[in-house]
């Protein structure tokens, strides 16, 4: 029961009831990316994505980012991007998570050349 309630009223659980109805009646399935996100397009040209897990716009890989933003390029026709062995896999924005990058984990590593007012 709680899952149905979440689906109807919350947008952060993949898609809402309204988005599901719109996708069923007006959406044409275009493809899926490596994260499992599904991409749709309507007859009048609107494009949207239904995320597989947590909704985060930084989880859209490069090959689909240009498509969703109407940026023409050579990938738009087949959405398959040849990756080189030196390229790293796409990572979503990790800010605010445990895996976020902190340049100075040890606060005592850099000595300040100034003295703060409140010490």
Query: For all residues of the chain together, what is the average pLDDT?
Result: 76
Strand (E) positions, the chain?
28-32, 38-41, 47-50
- Rounded Cα gap, residues 81 and 18, in angstroms: 32
In the structure encoding, which two tokens stand for residue 104, read together?
């100075």
Task: Give the closest residue to 79 by CA, choosing from 51, 53, 60, 59.
Answer: 60
Annotated domain spans of the chain: 2-77
- The residue among 4 and 76 whose pLDDT is bigger is 4
What's the confidence (pLDDT) of residue 29?
92
- Answer whether 0.75 is exceeded by the pTM: no
The torsion angles phi and psi of 22, rounded to 5 degrees, stand at: -60, -40
């Amino acid at each position: 029961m709680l899952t149905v309630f979440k689906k109807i009223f919350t947008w952060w659980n993949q898609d809402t009831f309204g988005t599901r109805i719109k996708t069923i009646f007006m959406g044409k399935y275009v493809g899926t990316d490596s994260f499992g996100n599904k991409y749709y397009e309507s007859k009048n040209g609107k494009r949207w994505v239904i995320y597989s897990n947590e909704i985060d716009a930084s989880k859209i890989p490069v090959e689909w980012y240009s498509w969703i933003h109407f940026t023409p390029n050579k990938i738009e026709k087949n959405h398959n991007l040849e990756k080189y062995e030196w390229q790293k896999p796409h990572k979503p924005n990790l800010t605010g998570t445990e895996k976020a990058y902190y340049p100075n984990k040890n606060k005592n590593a850099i000595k300040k050349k100034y003295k703060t007012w409140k010490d």
